[in-house]
Amino acid sequence: MTPQPTSTPQDDTAGLAAYIDHTLLAPQASRDDILKLCKEAAEHHFKSVCVNPVWVETAKKALLGTGVLTCTVVGFPLGTHNTDVKVFEARGATMDGADEVDMVINIASARALDKDALLSDISAVAEVVHGEESLLKVIIETALLSDAEKVLACQAAVEAGADYVKTSTGFNGGGATAQDVALMRETVGPDIGVKASGGVRTREKALEMIAAGATRIGTSSGIAIVTGGAGTAAY
Catalytic positions, written as ranges: 102, 166, 195
The number of residues making up the chain comes to 235
d(CA 230, CA 183): 26
CA distances from residue 55 to 7, 23, 33, 49, 221 in whole angstroms, order as listed: 31, 12, 10, 11, 19
Which residues, 6+ apart, have CB-to-CB distance to 211 below 8 Å? Answer: 178
CA distances from residue 62 to 34, 41, 55, 222 in whole angstroms, order as listed: 9, 10, 11, 18
